[in-house]
Amino acid sequence: MTATAVPVRTHADPLVVAVDCSTTSAKAIVWDASGARVSSGQAPLPLSIPHPGYGEQDPRDWWSATAIAIRAAVSGIDPDRIVALSVTHQRESFACLDEHGEPVRPAMLWLDVRAGAQVDEFGTERVHALTGKPANPTPAWYKILWLAEHEPGALAATSRIVDVHGFLVQRMTGRWATSLASADPLGLVDLAAGDYSDELLDAAGIRRSQLSELLLPGEPVGPLSDVAAAELGLPAGTIVITGAGDGQSAGLGAGITRPGRAYLNLGTGLISGSVSESYAPSTAYRALSGAVPGTFDYELFIGAGTYMVSWFVDTFLEPSGVGGSTPDGVEQYWEQQASRIAPGSDGLVVVPYWNGALTPYWDNRARGVMVGLTGAHGRAHVYRAILEGIAFELRLCVEHAERALDVPITEFVAMGGGARSPLWCQLLADVLQRPVVLAAEDEATCLGAAMLAAAGAGIHASIEQASAAMSGLGRRFEPDPGAAAVYDPLYAGYRAVYPALAPVFPQLGGADA
């Protein structure tokens, strides 16, 4: 991995632009050296689901949405202050391009699960040891194997296979390059070696020449081309700095650069990650190349975060009336009702496998369970039990993961939509028996990319120093010993539910049974 030395323009009060090209939108935010937001812009991204289990996008939309977002963000800003640009993005998603850089077929996204048969056939312990990723349909490697079987013509016409970061960077600079922390989630990288795995490439029929050059996060790729600068509304010569995938970037933006602390993204699904300075694959987590070169991110996944709350509200609670006419108003009302229920929800336990079990079981046949219902339970009990069940599942994941971590996790830094719930943050602290502290910046993912841009441009001396200077913490939730004493016996019961029912789930039918 080599980087081109690029002179960086200097300014007494420099700014950087960070782009977050996610599944549903592209967002651009301008940041100063202290991590303060200056301005922002956003543009939606169309999502296509042509069949159940599929997820596709036109990769050209990644660029057009990014351009719209950047132009909106930098409008009215002195262009001479902007010195660098970096990208974070949806991970695992990839595009197949022809020799002219045009799509051969729609990009396949991380949420596309059509490659289940390939996971069953090729998802070996050897692949897990190489990539750090337990066998599941998310990594691109399995989808490329699916293409080889079902669309061989498209794969034969493919000159380049690129992640979102690599696609955007090439449009910006003309260079086929990406970050190790962006390419690694594709499942093509030997994580211990920090390079593409020839063994995995050969198995999928991929040539190295079809892939982007690997650079470390925070390295200069090159200056914006004149054409790209004009389209983005940025000065020609603005330096493009390598970024990282959205999960690793979120951890960096939350100030997580060393072992012992974990970020906790309470989004549609729940993702928690911690940093390790050594590599040890485990089914208890998904290992990734870290945003700080030389480190690894160990991530825990629960497929039910705010999704579970929204599902319950939409399915069982009034969409209007009490609490107001908006979904937020309804949820605030029922959160108030749930806060009046004692810890433990009067013995009601929810196992939140509405979307299957991820870490540590990796069982897509698992189903959601409610245990302990009585006639005394009402909707507020269920609402609270959902929040508690997700907290129990996170505690289960953490206990499994800590067997391989360098040091135990001492606190969690929370972000995402669920972090706006004081009830949920407090019961997470009570169940985990560790402090939960809010990230000062709710756009931590985009901020992480800004930190890489600032370090790569020399605004800060290192990525770690950029993270320390540009991040901060907000409200802190300490564990309540009294609540913890209530939760411990309930958690023991919670842990027994999945092993008892695992043989039953395949008998329940459904698409994945």
DSSP designation for 184: G
**pLDDT of 52 strictly over 80:** yes
Query: In the prediction, which pLDDT does 317 show?
Result: 84
Q: 249-280 pLDDT, tens per residue?
A: 999 999 999 999 999 999 888 999 999 999 99
Amino acid residing at 365: R
Residue whose tokens read 């009060």: 13
Query: In the prediction, which pLDDT does 190 show?
Result: 98
**pLDDT of 319 strictly over 60:** no
Contacts 24+ apart (CB under 8 A), 227-230: 228/171, 228/172, 228/173
Q: 65-74 pLDDT, tens per residue?
A: 999 999 999 9
Question: What number is the average pLDDT over the span 488-501?
Answer: 96
Q: 212-238 pLDDT, tens per residue?
A: 999 999 999 999 999 999 999 999 999
**pLDDT of 58 strictly over 90:** yes
Q: Where are the beta strands (DSSP E) in 367-472?
A: 369-371, 411-415, 436-439
Q: 111-166 pLDDT, tens per residue?
A: 898 998 999 999 999 999 999 999 998 999 999 999 999 999 999 999 999 999 99
Q: 180-195 pLDDT, tens per residue?
A: 999 999 999 999 999 9
* Element counts in the chain: helices (H) and strands (E): 17, 23
The pLDDT confidence band at residue 365, using thresholds 50, 70 and 90, is: confident
**pLDDT of 449 strictly over 60:** yes
Percent of the chain whose pLDDT exceeds 90? 84
Mean pLDDT of all residues belonging to the chain: 93
- Listed in sequence order, the residues at least 6 apart from 425 whose beta carbon sits closer than 8 Å to its beta carbon are 414, 419, 436, 438, 475, 477
Q: Distance (Å, rounded) from C-alpha 129 to C-alpha 509?
A: 32
Residues 272, 276, 279, 283, Cα dihedral to 10°: -20
**pLDDT of 19 strictly over 80:** yes
Q: Distance (Å, rounded) from C-alpha 175 to C-alpha 101?
A: 12
Reduced to 3 DSSP states, what percent helix, strand and coil does the chain have, rounded to the nearest 5? 40, 20, 40
The pLDDT confidence band at residue 321, using thresholds 50, 70 and 90, is: very low
pTM of structure: 0.90
Q: Which helix (H) or strand (E) is 86 found in, with range? A: strand 82-89
Backbone torsions φ then ψ of 310, nearest 5 degrees: -65, -40
Are residues 437 and 474 in contact, defined by beta-carbon separation less than 8 angstroms? yes
Q: Distance (Å, rounded) from C-alpha 416 to C-alpha 397?
A: 19
Are residues 471 and 253 in contact, defined by beta-carbon separation less than 8 angstroms? yes
- Domains of the chain: residue spans and CATH: 15-248 (3.30.420.40), 307-399+481-508 (3.30.420.40)
